């Protein structure tokens, strides 16, 4: 309850922050983009991870306001560095409730025009829960976003109940293989089979496949040999300030 109250003030008081994680090609490890990750610098509790406060924000509806802030701030951050990194893409996580809030398309349109960033450089990361809650509304918003020229990624792919259904009928461009499968890659044949099948599916549909949670060179080596397109993970360091991540 206290967190819920404090969260109400967090946006206005400037307590929210973004850290960034790079996304790179598996082959040359060339940077192609960054993912914005939200943090809350709570005055007494210190830096809180989204797992601690996003469920509260979802429940209270505050997530819509937080999501607006994340979009505007991350696009402004990218815009500041665009002269040096004109090709870099920005991935932003969108929660289920935000997706079906009825105002996401308008918010994205406004944030893009304020920042001057090309729509094709913005990747919105969606999880399957959004579709299980309200498939009709979710689908319509995705169509609107696609019409703007924004890129759509399915996040945590493989962990939901009906991934195959969604990937076959929704306008999606990118599959992000959940890190639970990636973590077990070097040691576990089962994880290898799952990742191989996501790669086959994604490439069969003409999608870009990104592996999440790559922590070591062994794992990256396996992904390279399997033909995975891009990866993210602590192998490139902890998420940090945008300027640091790009150095």
Q: Is residue 219 near ligand G by the rule CB under 6 A?
A: no
DSSP-based three-state secondary structure for 155: strand
Q: Looking at beta carbons only, is 128 or 199 nearer to ligand G?
A: 128
The CA–CA distances, whole Å, from 5 to 2, 48, 55, 67 equal: 5, 15, 14, 18
Question: What does 51 bind: Mn ion, ligand G, Na ion, none (CB cut-off 5 to 8 Å by kind)?
Answer: ligand G
Residue list 145-164, contact with Mn ion (CB under 5 A): 155
In this structure, the strands spanning 16-25 and 31-42 are antiparallel
One of 68, 125, 229, 230 touching Mn ion (CB under 5 A): 125
DSSP 34-67: EEEEEEEEETTTEEE-HHHHHHHHHHHSTHHHHH
The enclosing H or E element of 19 equals strand 16-25
Q: Is residue 70 near ligand G by the rule CB under 6 A?
A: yes
Q: Which residues pair with 172 in a beta bridge?
A: none
Q: Looking at beta carbons only, is 86 or 186 nearer to ligand G?
A: 186
User: How many residues sit in the footprint of ligand G (CB under 6 A)?
Assistant: 23
Distance in Å, CB of 47 to ligand G, minimum:
10
Query: How many whole angstroms separate alpha carbon 102 and alpha carbon 192?
Result: 39
The CA–CA distances, whole Å, from 79 to 23, 134, 145, 233 equal: 18, 33, 20, 24
Q: Looking at beta carbons only, is 91 or 199 nearer to ligand G?
A: 91
Question: What spatial distance separates the first Cα and last Cα of the chain, rounded to whole Å?
Answer: 40
Q: Is residue 37 near ligand G by the rule CB under 6 A?
A: yes
Pattern of binders to Na ion over 127-156, x per CB under 5 A? ----------------------------xx
Angle (deg, nearest 10), helices 50-60 and 2-10 = 90
Q: Is residue 230 near Mn ion by the rule CB under 5 A?
A: no
Question: What does 202 bind: Mn ion, Na ion, ligand G, none (CB cut-off 5 to 8 Å by kind)?
Answer: none
Chain positions contacting ligand G, by CB under 6 A: 21, 37-38, 49-51, 54, 70, 93-95, 125, 155-156, 179, 212-215, 232-234, 239
Residues at the contact surface with Mn ion, assessed by CB under 5 A:
93, 125, 155
């Amino acid at each position: 309850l206290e967190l819920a109250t404090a969260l109400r003030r967090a946006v206005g008081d400037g307590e929210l922050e973004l850290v960034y994680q790079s996304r790179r090609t598996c082959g040359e490890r060339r940077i192609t983009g960054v993912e914005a990750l939200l943090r809350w610098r709570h005055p007494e509790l210190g830096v809180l991870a989204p797992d601690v406060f996003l469920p509260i924000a979802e429940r209270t509806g505050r997530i819509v306001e937080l999501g607006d802030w994340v979009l505007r701030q991350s696009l402004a951050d990218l815009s500041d560095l665009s002269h040096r990194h004109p090709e870099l893409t920005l991935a932003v996580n969108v929660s289920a409730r935000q997706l079906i809030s009825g105002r996401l398309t308008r918010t994205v349109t406004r944030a893009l025009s304020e920042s001057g960033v090309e729509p094709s450089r913005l990747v919105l990361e969606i999880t399957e829960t959004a579709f299980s809650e309200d498939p009709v509304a979710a689908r319509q918003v995705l169509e609107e976003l696609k019409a703007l020229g924004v890129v759509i990624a399915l996040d945590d792919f493989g962990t939901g109940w009906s991934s195959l259904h969604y990937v076959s009928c929704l306008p999606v461009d990118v599959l992000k293989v959940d890190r639970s499968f990636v973590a077990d890659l070097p040691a576990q044949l089962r994880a290898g089979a799952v990742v191989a099948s996501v790669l086959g599916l994604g490439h069969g549909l003409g999608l870009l496949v990104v592996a999440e949670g790559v922590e070591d060179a062994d794992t990256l080596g396996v992904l390279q040999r399997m033909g995975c397109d891009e990866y993210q993970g602590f192998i490139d360091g902890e998420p940090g300030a945008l300027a640091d991540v790009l150095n």
